[in-house]
Structure 1
Amino acid sequence: MLSCTPVQVLGAQAVTIGAPVRLGDWLAGQLGAPAQRERDVYVTGIQWQSARERTLQQGARQTLLDQIRYLSGPAAPATPDREGLSALIAAHPATGRVVLKEADPRWLQANPADDPVLNAGDDVVIPERPSSVTVIHRDGSLCKVTHVAQAEASYYIRACDPQAAPEEAWVVQPDGVVQKVKVGLWDRMAQQPPAPGAWIWAPERGAGWPESLSARLASFFATQGPSGLDDQGHDAPLKPSVQQGQEQERDQKQAAASAQFHARDLPVTASDWGTVGLLQTPTARMGEAGEASIGISTTSPYTRLNVMLQPLDWLEFGFRYTDISSEKYGPASLSGTQSYKDKSIDFKVRLLSETATLPAVALGMRDIGGTGLFSGEYLVANKRTGDFDWSLGLGWGYLGARGNISNPLSIISDKFKNRPASDSNVVNAGTFSKAYFRGPMSLFGGVQYQTPWTPLILKLEYDGNNYQNEPLHQHFTTRSSFNIGAVYRVSSHVDVSAALERGNRAMLGITLHGKLGDIATPKVSDPAPLPALMPPVVQPVLQPVASPVTQQAAPVATAMDWSRTTQDLQQQTGFRVQSIYRNGSQLVVAFDETNAFYLGGKIDRIAAVLNRDAPPEVRVFRVTLVSRGLPVTGYAIERDTWVRNHATLLAPIDRQQAVFTMPPAAAPDSVPGKDGDTDIYRQAPERFTLSVGPAYQQTLGGPNAFVLYQLSVNAYAEARLRRDTWLAGDLNLGLVDNYDKFTYTAPSSLPRVRTYLREYLTTSRFTMPLLQLTHVGALGRDQYYSVYGGYLESMFAGVGGEWLYRPWSSPLALGVDVNRVRQRGFRQDFALRDYSVTTGNVTLYWDTGWHGVQVDLSVGQYLAKDRGATLDVSRVFRNGVRIGAYATKTNVSASQFGEGSFDKGIYVTIPFDALFTHSTAGVAAIRWSPLTRDGGAKLARQFPLYDLTDESNPRNLWFSPPTPATAGPE
């Protein structure tokens, strides 16, 4: 059996610390000693063992032993296996090891926040470099295998047992980091190879070891240091193998081949239709949550522009424009030579995740709610075997046009036997079809193969469509029912595809893709944060009784000192300081204009400045965030705890929470001088702000041209009359556009509240989209109001008011807005038209707390005097990116509404903090709606209270830029 021997693993000898010292300084002295320079020191395996942490780990060790002892039931591991594993754990004491980011002394000295202070009684272990990796068997026996560079966990597992076929393995690296890796034929993944001294635990499927126990076991051995060392911390060499002859030679060749194998993630690529799939057919595969793609593919006579989003790991949806080059959009007088364009929406839901024995299963629908020219439904399954991924599905409609299988749903009703023909009349577009899952079906399926050259992926599929009943009464000659193609991954974000489809048509495509939840930009333009300095110790001083004057002056610094503090706070955060005052041992700072999305880092910057400047008597920093004069939330920072957390690396037992979210009323933000407050600094709000920049707007898919656009320059100005009252204005000057082609005004049977879009866009190059006076206020702690008036948006002017009930830190909020508005003139100046309406909504906001999903439901009267409801569902990721969709249904019939049947759309918002090199507020919004209609149209209100009070969102400290610890699925 190769070079594999059962071994006893003993801990290396530890050095006990006698007096407090920084680990970096201690290691620098130790590693520079002659005795250490003669050893092959394994820096990766250096351990800091905290005496205080040892107590916690003893409890965790006992919990692990108890869990093994009490495993029961028919699926539980055999008694000898449980006893053997328990004996192995019992033979290893709790060490108190704390995982270090890095053990190199120079790195530690350069990064004091990650350099722990060793206390008396702590141990430090400096091992030699081991030459092996140790596999833990289910019975507690150990198998040591010589380390092979770049060999993965599967190599060591099979070196110890060639018949082993686990699906998961826990790799405990010598630095204490635990990695759970997939190693099965159906789920293997790219992974980091074990380093010398790693431990591996890989129970077989069905062996009875719960995943929670495996995780605890791996965490326990992460505290034990590198494997394969003797009791002096020296490498324990393997015993020579007893194998001889052809058997040994065969095993060595197999091992050498296995060591060269590198597992890869299953490649997930887009089909011609944008959804994850093969070519023409979908699969049950999904991208990771947060994935987004935009792609274009062409197969004569179709060219498809696809945009797909993955808000959850089991849900994929998106939209598409299909160009049919063989058909005209309409009369030449309307659309010239433009070819026909079709809009559609797709979605796919995973019903079952793949396991070792069962396939992944998904249900999907293509072209729902559109004209239905390409509508189809499908049920598809996928199973992976190494580099091959097999799919098999049933398709209805366009996906099953071959019609070689009877519809089993016809047992329920004869209506399922036949499928109504699609309707190319755009007036009927947007209605939900009565054809779903009706008519004959067809099988479809295929295989994807990841070649040894990783960027190249091959695809072969059987197409369920025979192309004899194409949209607009077309039919195509085909030479094969099979399509074959390839995808070349130019980079991690760009795929180029090519294929031969129908046996006689070439397909070319390109897809840009990436994870929106991983978008981040280093803040290189922000000032460097201040270090966390230990505050001076308060020394008791005997003084004579002070006069009232000296009592008042003693606790605070001079105004000049706090001006510097204010300047540094504003520079470090980008926030505007409103006031600073003292209340006993608390220092309170109120900020207005908090223009940043990631608040956690800003709170730390605030604490660093205040810790530097505040007198030692101050033990708590209070931060109040004010939005337009509304105190919305507060944070309390325990000074000593914060400093300890940031000045050095602490053992888990010593780590404590330092920042606490609190209601704004609990932060002492009352009038200075009351309740013992001592005013230190006050600053008036910035009276006038002006910003000028480029702007862009477009409309897609219209009859005059596929893209109508305008590039303009925009100026936004704001005058603060008071903290809670301001006048905002917006001016726009069009520079470059193709609006001379915009001649089409959509028909409407409703009051034209939005279908005058052409007139508003083309009448004047210089416009005033906004001129609004707004006042906001608070009614107690949880209720807010606003009143406003002026030119509220590009198409309507008037007055309105809003009330919001938003309990602090609650997932629920309720808002009511009422507006009396009148339609503006087409030039967007001060002129008004005759049409007026009272519009408003009651809106319920609900942060579900489930995977970042937010649900907003509003009910009310819309601009066209129709009444109904809007449902908005979105998912927000930790970096603040939000993916959402909305739909509005009112008492207007589908025929009255016109093309589209009801208002709907998809949107993505990205915080500017994720895009720019400096911290900034605001979001970039990308919205898509199939078309603009009058039904279900809302007033585009500026400054809604839910947005103004969003700093009270309980997620605010959760939002952060992606890091290795926070990126990926949640």
Structure 2
Amino acid sequence: MSRILNRSKAHRPVAITLTALAMSMSTALHAQQAPPATASEWGGIGLLQTPTARMAEDGDIAFTASHNSPYSRYNLTLQPFPWLEASFRYINVSNIRYGTDIAGNQNYKDKSIDFKVRLWEETRWLPDVSFGVRDIGGTGFFSSEYLVANKRFGPVDASVGLATGYIGNRGDFSNPLGAIDDKYKDRRPIANSDITQAGRFGLSNMFKGPVGIFGGVTWQTPLDALLVKVEYDGNDYKREPRRNNLTQNTPVNVGLVYVPNKNVELTAAWERGDAAMFSLTLRGNPGHASAAPKPFDPPPVRVGDPDARVGGEAVSRQVATAPGTATATGTTTEAGQPREQADWGAIASALRSNAGIKVDSISRRDGELFIDGYQTDYMSAAKGLGRAGRILSNSLGDEYDWYTVRSTRLGMPIADMSVSRQALEGYLDGSVSEDVLRRSTELEAPSVISRDVLYRAPSDPFNGGFSVGYRQNLGGPDGFILYQVAANYSASYFFRPNVWLSGTASVDLFNNYDKFKYDAPSRLPRVRTDLRQYMTTSDVVLPNLQFNTAGRLGRDTYGLAYVGYLEWMYAGVGGELLYRPMGESWAIGANLNWVKQRDYDQHFGLRDYSVTTGHATFYYSFDAKERIVGSLSLGRYLAGDYGATLNIARAFDNGVTMGAYATKTDVSAAEFGEGSFDKGIYFSIPFDIVLPRSTRGRANINWNPLIRDGGAMLSRRYQLYNVTSERDERFFYDNLKSIDD
């Protein structure tokens, strides 16, 4: 420690801090609780500037904003699996401008993508070990590859790592891969004014250049909410992007982290010996979140409650005539006693208000009662089935052995969800186990059978409603965030259950797209980059107005055709076919469309550009412990380019999804422009998790770093794979417990 103190006066505060830290640790090891995994200023789990091998819990989403002059970083970090972390970032560089010819005095902004993969978990003797890459999908200005290990010692979590690139820019020793090939000895510098490489994965530079050492410790202080971080930074800041080199008086950074609860982290640090850093992290775990309490939902009825019967008196069980024979008023009970005709209209009303099922018809076949309709309120189909079973048991007694809810969407039967009345009643009163209930529940493809219709709902062809729309683009040279907030009214009119007209009218409330001046050069037809004109030409627009017809073409085959103003930029005609076999993890579909570009005002006029576009798509669900759903689409895009889109997502049991996609077409990186190819990430969170009333709505957040013309797909309003989602057997059975809610 004396050697450190003698180097320079700039080192003294750091030395004193380290000495005090060591003395405190020696006297406070009684606090054996390991420190929690917290964010670095780069968003992922780490120390301050450097990553660690630790991971957040799977399902975690975190937003981190940090400032360390001249950099302000805004990071979104997803943890879709226990072993995978992904971060997406915008960096605002306060002392560099884009250039007056591009964006006036706007600060330069950089975009990047990171990922980290755990190679193995910590054991008694072995550390946690992770491999990661920083800035793999951005400009590459901050690109780096690293291997890092962590080991806990009571209240201390220590890390040490090796890095090539930005994190290891100090270059403590030459790259050992240079013994294999000289190309690994040096790392090609990225031209400070060249952004043509932006968006490429930068594989040609990976693992190249000298290796830097980094690491440090996190100490859980005796105060539960307070952590201390000390790190040795592997970067010397002598090769910063855009020649923006910084002074580093010491490679040791020291920080305090205040964690008042599991959702908030506040960090203050002293870095490089002369710079303050502050960061705020907001964290949540929607992937494993339970639905919020539902005080505004109607309570489920109790089986056997005489006050919960719908339409009619209690069912008599006195012997009279032969069971099941017809009478003037209806049917006889199982015991043969004539019973009062059920009030099916009242039952349908109760099913709608309490079970969330909008009933189209009620029918019977032998001892099975069918409810044809669709779920409007509950995310879990099993929850609606359980509530429906309660209502039917109270109203019909033991007249039926099975209840089947036939889910219909757009006039097409999707799936039959059936439950044994006796198993359901037994499960609800505690006499039947979940295993027995599971064996007494079925999810099957709807079969064509003869049924006696007991009730048909009156026609109700119109539905509509208001909503608030939000659109944004982040990190462009015209402003960090460009946004629009609009008031929307969407409606549909059904001429028949499977033939309907749908549309949306939108009124702009406020936006700042008038700042959007930089279109960026394009060597392709401007199929998406005319964004500014579409957003600013008119305050009242018609984003969608189309005529549709749908049909079930076979046991597992569905079709859809449509014509009209299909989305805000395109009008045309098209269709889709989907083959989705029941009980299988895969499906295959295809769509074909002829479209023409719309006028900028989004009214009824059309521009000259037209194209035939469409894709064949293979869907697959990997039903492992951590469920992965994916799709691969092959076809022609809006700019006439041909290629493929790969989409991979983690689907959680509660309906939350986290995913990423990438599109590569026959358009070269030079023709595509900045970004090189289309890519993005997204997550989708059901509102049911946070709202006090059940809903099937969800928030869909899509992050696309750049708007470009290559790899652009038509945004179709209806997609058959989503329409047929109730064929998802795993989601149904994973949520079977909700039948008790």
**Above 0.5 in TM-score?**
yes
What code does the residue aligned with 1:632 have? I
Structure possessing the higher radius of gyration over alpha carbons: 1
Q: What is residue 543 of structure 1 aligned with on the other side?
A: 321
Q: What is residue 531 of structure 1 aligned with on the other side?
A: 302
The correspondence for 2:177, drawn from 409, 413, 416, is 409
Q: Is the 8 A contact 2:487 2:509 kept in 1?
A: yes
The correspondence for 2:443, drawn from 654, 662, 666, is 662
SS at match of 2:183: helix
The correspondence for 2:74, drawn from 305, 317, 322, is 305
Q: What is residue 570 of structure 1 aligned with on the other side?
A: 352
Q: 1:326-372 deviations in whole A, cap 9, x for unaligned?
A: 111221x5423221100000000011111111111111000112111
SS at match of 2:170: coil
Q: Is the 8 A contact 1:500 1:506 kept in 2?
A: yes
Select the structure with the greater relative contact order (CA < 8 A; seq sep ≥ 6): 2
SS at match of 1:690: strand
Is 1:294 the counterpart of 2:69? The answer is no
The correspondence for 1:852, drawn from 604, 627, 640, is 627
What code does the residue aligned with 1:721 have? F
1:683-832 to 2 correspondence within 5 Å? 683-832=457-606
Task: Decide whether aligned partners of structure 1 residues 553 and 546 sit closer, same or farther in structure 2, where only a CA change above 3 A counts.
Answer: closer
What code does the residue aligned with 1:401 have? N
Q: What is residue 679 of structure 2 aligned with on the other side?
A: 904
What code does the residue aligned with 1:357 have? W
Give, in whole Å, the separation in 1 of the partners of 2:242 and 2:662: 29
What code does the residue aligned with 2:173 have? I
Q: What is residue 252 of structure 2 aligned with on the other side?
A: 482
Give, in whole Å, the separation in 1 of the partners of 2:563 and 2:489: 20
What code does the residue aligned with 1:477 have? T
Q: Is the 8 A contact 2:199 2:677 kept in 1?
A: yes
Is 1:647 the counterpart of 2:429? The answer is yes
Q: Is the 8 A contact 2:342 2:396 kept in 1?
A: no
The correspondence for 1:863, drawn from 638, 655, 664, is 638
Give, in whole Å, the separation in 2 of the partners of 1:830 and 1:725: 22
Q: What is residue 274 of structure 1 aligned with on the other side?
A: 43
Give, in whole Å, the separation in 1 of the partners of 2:427 and 2:233: 60
Q: C-alpha displacement at 1:562, in angstroms?
A: 1.6
Q: Is the 8 A contact 1:538 1:617 kept in 2?
A: no
Task: Decide whether aligned partners of structure 1 residues 685 and 849 sit closer, same or farther in structure 2, where only a CA change above 3 A counts.
Answer: farther
Instruction: Provide the TM-score with structure 1 as the length reference.
Output: 0.69
What code does the residue aligned with 1:613 have? S
Q: Is the 8 A contact 1:685 1:720 kept in 2?
A: no
The correspondence for 1:510, drawn from 280, 289, 300, is 280
Q: C-alpha displacement at 1:546, in angstroms?
A: 11
1:18-417 to 2 correspondence within 5 Å? 264=33, 266-331=35-100, 334-417=102-185
What code does the residue aligned with 2:253 have? N
Is 1:468 the counterpart of 2:238? The answer is yes
SS at match of 1:680: strand
Task: Decide whether aligned partners of structure 1 residues 507 and 770 sit closer, same or farther in structure 2, where only a CA change above 3 A counts.
Answer: same
Give, in whole Å, the separation in 1 of the partners of 2:461 and 2:611: 34
Q: Is the 8 A contact 2:34 2:157 kept in 1?
A: no
Q: What is residue 730 of structure 2 aligned with on the other side?
A: 955
Q: C-alpha displacement at 1:734, in angstroms?
A: 0.6
SS at match of 2:234: coil
Q: Is the 8 A contact 1:534 1:643 kept in 2?
A: no
What code does the residue aligned with 2:512 have? N
The structure richer in strand per residue is 2
Task: Decide whether aligned partners of structure 1 residues 544 and 291 sit closer, same or farther in structure 2, where only a CA change above 3 A counts.
Answer: closer
Task: Decide whether aligned partners of structure 1 residues 756 and 544 sit closer, same or farther in structure 2, where only a CA change above 3 A counts.
Answer: closer
SS at match of 1:956: helix
The correspondence for 2:229, drawn from 459, 462, 466, is 459
Give, in whole Å, the separation in 2 of the partners of 1:298 and 1:775: 53
Q: C-alpha displacement at 1:629, in angstroms?
A: 1.1
SS at match of 1:280: coil
Q: C-alpha displacement at 1:545, in angstroms?
A: 11
What code does the residue aligned with 1:626 have? T
Task: Decide whether aligned partners of structure 1 residues 962 and 369 sit closer, same or farther in structure 2, where only a CA change above 3 A counts.
Answer: farther
User: Which sections of structure 1, spanning at least 5 residues, go unmatched?
Assistant: 1-256, 964-970
Q: 1:836-884 deviations in whole A, cap 9, x for unaligned?
A: 1110000000011021101110100000010000000000111111000
Q: What is residue 638 of structure 1 aligned with on the other side?
A: 420
Instruction: Indicate the RMSD between aligned Cα atoms, in angstroms.
Output: 2.5
Q: Is the 8 A contact 1:372 1:423 kept in 2?
A: no
Q: C-alpha displacement at 1:657, in angstroms?
A: 3.3
What code does the residue aligned with 2:42 have? W
Give, in whole Å, the separation in 2 of the partners of 1:317 and 1:600: 33
Aligned residues: 698
Q: What is residue 421 of structure 1 aligned with on the other side?
A: 189
Give, in whole Å, the separation in 2 of the partners of 1:802 and 1:534: 48
Give, in whole Å, the separation in 2 of the partners of 1:609 and 1:760: 50
Identity of aligned residues (%): 44
Q: 1:169-206 deviations in whole A, cap 9, x for unaligned?
A: xxxxxxxxxxxxxxxxxxxxxxxxxxxxxxxxxxxxxx
Give, in whole Å, the separation in 2 of the partners of 1:862 and 1:530: 52
Give, in whole Å, the separation in 2 of the partners of 1:581 and 1:658: 24
SS at match of 1:368: coil
Task: Decide whether aligned partners of structure 1 residues 697 and 429 sit closer, same or farther in structure 2, where only a CA change above 3 A counts.
Answer: same
Give, in whole Å, the separation in 2 of the partners of 1:308 and 1:499: 21
Q: What is residue 714 of structure 2 aligned with on the other side?
A: 939
Q: C-alpha displacement at 1:265, in angstroms?
A: 5.3
SS at match of 1:591: strand
Q: What is residue 394 of structure 2 aligned with on the other side?
A: 612
Task: Decide whether aligned partners of structure 1 residues 595 and 629 sit closer, same or farther in structure 2, where only a CA change above 3 A counts.
Answer: farther
Q: C-alpha displacement at 1:658, in angstroms?
A: 6.3
Task: Decide whether aligned partners of structure 1 residues 454 and 958 sit closer, same or farther in structure 2, where only a CA change above 3 A counts.
Answer: farther
What code does the residue aligned with 1:353 have? E
Q: 1:110-157 deviations in whole A, cap 9, x for unaligned?
A: xxxxxxxxxxxxxxxxxxxxxxxxxxxxxxxxxxxxxxxxxxxxxxxx
SS at match of 2:113: strand
Q: Is the 8 A contact 1:366 1:374 kept in 2?
A: yes
Q: C-alpha displacement at 1:559, in angstroms?
A: 6.5
Task: Decide whether aligned partners of structure 1 residues 748 and 961 sit closer, same or farther in structure 2, where only a CA change above 3 A counts.
Answer: farther
Q: C-alpha displacement at 1:738, in angstroms?
A: 1.8
SS at match of 1:830: coil
Give, in whole Å, the separation in 2 of the partners of 1:902 and 1:917: 42
What code does the residue aligned with 1:510 have? L
Q: What is residue 886 of structure 1 aligned with on the other side?
A: 661
Give, in whole Å, the separation in 2 of the partners of 1:544 and 1:903: 70
Give, in whole Å, the separation in 2 of the partners of 1:558 and 1:943: 44
Give, in whole Å, the separation in 2 of the partners of 1:451 and 1:557: 73
The range that moved more, 526-535 or 597-606, is: 526-535
What code does the residue aligned with 1:319 have? F
Give, in whole Å, the separation in 1 of the partners of 2:197 and 2:523: 15
Give, in whole Å, the separation in 2 of the partners of 1:602 and 1:913: 14
SS at match of 2:602: coil
Q: Is the 8 A contact 1:574 1:919 kept in 2?
A: no
